[in-house]
Amino acid sequence: MATTTKTEPRATPASDFWKEADRVSSRTRFQLPNRDGHFYALAKSSLDFAAAVVLLIPILPFIVLGWLLVKISSRGPGFYVQTRTGRSGLPYRIIKIRSMHHRAEEETDGPKWSPIGDRRIFGMGKFLRRTHLDELPQLFNVLRGEMSLVGPRPERPEVIASKGLCDEVPGYDVRMVARPGITGLAQLQLPADSDILSVRHKVYYDLYYIANQSLGFDLRICVATLFKAAGVGPKWLRRLFFLPSPDAVRSQFLAVAKPKRLERQDSSRYLPVPS
């Protein structure tokens, strides 16, 4: 008797899923909703500052503990300060608990992204990164008005320059209309940057957030970050906190990347931003 072999359906690669979006030229112009007059836009800085003050009270002992664990388990300072690119492309100094060996990048060929199994990260550093405890000192950057609790991930200016991100990734400079965040939609749904394609996909999520940001959206992202630190995956985070599906993110990106001609009476609702 002939037998039939059951074949498992092949998963669709990410590059195929984003095929249409990935064809968008880096020279594309974008149009995002203008939220300058909204209460959220006016109050975001004040809300960020107030939330950072409140959060620092219970979180400060964890920052001290993280610093102490690094000092015990690795040579070098417990904190490190690094230049990142902030809102409107302006540089600022980020504060984090050190998770790599001291002067680790001096042993490499210049700045690069951290791959899976990065040997520059020491044992305790892996724990700090997995639980996101290394990010907590950035609350001081929020107090200084350089960052928000929620926003696009800030990158180093030397990485932006060496990888040509503003030239190779459509919408990369548009994401800089928002303050960078300690956490964000892209950080919840995608792994760390590893190549140009992964950066493009992060930008899709960043532009979705910028186009749809609200107090409720920020709150869901902040709470979802706690669940991610506890090991909850992207799919469950979307279900539990009503985060957008990958298809919704792609559709939003294509909508702002290829905007329709706007009527005169509606043009005030949009802020044109050149890429």
Tens digit of each residue's pLDDT (9 = 90 or more) over 186-224: 999 999 898 999 999 999 999 999 999 999 999 999 999
Q: Mean pLDDT for the chain?
A: 85
Model confidence band, residue 267 (pLDDT cutoffs 50, 70, 90):
very low
Q: What is the pLDDT of residue 107?
A: 64
Q: Tell me, yes or no, whether 222 lies in a domain.
A: yes
Q: Decide if 151 contacts 178 (C-beta within 8 A).
A: yes
Q: What is the pLDDT of residue 120?
A: 86
Maximum Cα–Cα distance for the chain, whole Å?
75
Q: Decide if 166 contacts 160 (C-beta within 8 A).
A: yes
The domain tally of the chain equals 1
- The rounded distance, in Å, linking the Cα atoms of 83 and 161 is 13
- The rounded distance, in Å, linking the Cα atoms of 25 and 40 is 32
Closest to 136 in 3D by CA, of 191, 70, 193: 70
User: Given CA atoms 244, 245, 246, 249 in this order, what sign does their dihedral have?
Assistant: negative
Q: Tell me, yes or no, whether 18 lies in a domain.
A: no
- The rounded distance, in Å, linking the Cα atoms of 35 and 141 is 24
Using the CB atoms, write b or e for 157-167: b if 16+ within 10 Å. bebbeebebbe
* Residues with Cβ within 8 Å of residue 60, at least 6 apart in sequence: none
Closest to 132 in 3D by CA, of 203, 194, 182, 193: 182
Q: Decide if 206 contacts 237 (C-beta within 8 A).
A: no
The tokens describing 91, both together, are 């540089």
Model confidence band, residue 9 (pLDDT cutoffs 50, 70, 90):
very low
| Burial class of residue 171 (count of CB atoms within 10 Å of its CB; 0-12, 13-18, 19+) | buried
* Residues with Cβ within 8 Å of residue 138, at least 6 apart in sequence: 94, 95, 96, 147, 182
Q: Tell me, yes or no, whether 19 lies in a domain.
A: no
- The rounded distance, in Å, linking the Cα atoms of 21 and 251 is 8
Could you report the per-residue pLDDT of 115-147, keeping only the tens digit for each? 777 888 898 989 999 888 999 999 999 999 999
As a residue count, the chain comes to: 275
Closest to 181 in 3D by CA, of 66, 47, 274, 59: 47
Single pTM value for the model: 0.84
Q: Which segments within 123-238 are labelled E, that is strand?
A: 148-150, 181-183
Q: Decide if 236 contacts 230 (C-beta within 8 A).
A: no
Could you report the per-residue pLDDT of 165-184, keeping only the tens digit for each? 999 999 999 999 999 999 99
Q: Tell me, yes or no, whether 163 lies in a domain.
A: yes
State phi, psi for 210 to the nearest 5 degrees: -60, -40
Q: Tell me, yes or no, whether 93 lies in a domain.
A: yes
Scan for tokens 């209460």, then name that residue.
39
Q: Which domain holds residue 70?
A: 28-260+269-273
pLDDT at 261 over 70: no
- The rounded distance, in Å, linking the Cα atoms of 6 and 3 is 10
Q: Tell me, yes or no, whether 8 lies in a domain.
A: no
Q: Tell me, yes or no, whether 1 lies in a domain.
A: no
Q: Tell me, yes or no, whether 21 lies in a domain.
A: no
